[in-house]
Amino acid sequence: MNRRDAITAVGAVALGGAQQAFAQQPIIVKFSHVVTNDTPKGKGALKFKELAEKYTGGKVKVEVYPNSTLYKDKEELDALNSGSVQMLAPSTAKFRPIGVAEFEALDLPYIFANDAEYEKVATGPIGTSLLKKLETKGIAGLAYWDNGFHMVSANKPLLMPADFQGLKIRISGSKVADLYFRAMGALPQIMAFSEVYQALQTGVVDGCENTPSNYYTQKFYEVQKHITVSSHAHLQYALIANAKFWNGLPGPIRVQMDKAVKEATDYSNSIARQENADALAKIKEAGKSTLHTLTPAQVTAWKTAFKPVYKDAENRVGKQIVDQLLGAAGIKV
Ligand code: LMR
């Protein structure tokens, strides 16, 4: 054996040892998100951990980091790209920074008449094609997790479009949400989810939108005197993984992980509606905030104010996806 062969042989032994050690170590999956454990997404992440660890016989260990303990909104996707975390479930309103703005079409106002209509789009060709767009960004789009319809709040009742005039409203990042709040005369401001409570408390912003489970678990209802159960837009998440990591999982483990994804997705989606209904009941019971429902005439006024949003959204997210969604919703502009 010459010197070069000897070095190669030593290297091979070292590599073999490393592979063996790797085989005995569990594969760690860091799963970061920004909501509490006690929400549809939080519970879905814990269910995924339970199932992934069970189905792989402990070969995979999932570490869930809830409530922005590891990363805030914008940092999450960077962390996924760099491999600091392996899985996330960000709101589809947060993908513009990595160049997949089309997701924001799902934020178009009144685009889903009810839960079933949302589900049809998410699980149908539109939802599937949006997830596929992530592939070119090194991200595996695994599933959609539901969190129901948005409410909107301030320290005054928000019943007619004019009530929004001049209010600073926190949004999570979507240019479509930016458009529909501007259509009402409000001043939307992007802010990380973990900063919203304090911003509402100190008056940095006047109001926000979110689902009942997020209002309840982040205590927004403590610092907003009036909440309108408006269902003007929908909140959904894309469950995603670092593609290099996900596609590099050993075959048999990947099969079990896909199974865990499917079952955790079904679980999270099956509880979302009830979790939000329960959260709304608790907000009401707490009595710190007055809940409002819109009359049919008020809904009509909101829809009229939102009319220009669909056309304007074409420039922000693309005409094709807007047309597809309007077609699915039967909305004519
Ligand atoms: C928000 O920032 O309002 C939401 O995306 C939070 C979440 O993940 O539900």
| Residues listed for the chain | 333
Q: Does residue 273 come out as left (phi exceeding 0), alpha (psi in the -120 to 50 range) or beta?
A: alpha
Which tokens is 290 given?
């007055």
Half-sphere exposure of 217 (CA within 13 A, CB side): 22
- pLDDT reported for residue 23: 56
The residue with tokens 């509606």 is 273
End-to-end CA distance of the chain: 78
CATH 1.10.645.10 describes domain 24-329: no
268 CA distance to ligand 1 middle (Å) = 15
**Contact 149/293 with Cβ under 8 angstroms?**
no
- pLDDT reported for residue 188: 98
* For the CA of 209, the nearest atom of ligand 1: 3
156 CA distance to ligand 1 middle (Å) = 23
* For the CA of 214, the nearest atom of ligand 1: 9
Ligand 1 and 256: CB distance under 6 A? no
* For the CA of 192, the nearest atom of ligand 1: 2
Ligand 1 and 325: CB distance under 6 A? no
Q: Which long-range contacts (CB under 8 A, 24 or more apart) does 98-101 make?
A: 98/137, 98/139, 99/137, 100/130, 100/133, 100/134, 100/137, 101/175, 101/316, 101/317, 101/318
* For the CA of 172, the nearest atom of ligand 1: 2
- pLDDT reported for residue 333: 85
**Contact 242/140 with Cβ under 8 angstroms?**
yes
Ligand 1 and 305: CB distance under 6 A? no
193 CA distance to ligand 1 middle (Å) = 6
- pLDDT reported for residue 196: 98
Domain limits, the chain: 24-329
pTM for the model stands at 0.92
* For the CA of 89, the nearest atom of ligand 1: 8
Ligand 1 and 324: CB distance under 6 A? no
Q: Does residue 67 come out as left (phi exceeding 0), alpha (psi in the -120 to 50 range) or beta?
A: left
- pLDDT reported for residue 143: 98
Ligand 1 and 68: CB distance under 6 A? no
303 CA distance to ligand 1 middle (Å) = 24
Phi–psi pair at 106, nearest 5 degrees: -65, -15
Successive 10-residue mean pLDDT values, the chain, 333 residues: 41 42 80 98 98 98 97 95 97 96 98 97 97 97 98 98 98 98 98 98 98 98 98 98 98 98 98 98 98 98 97 97 95 88
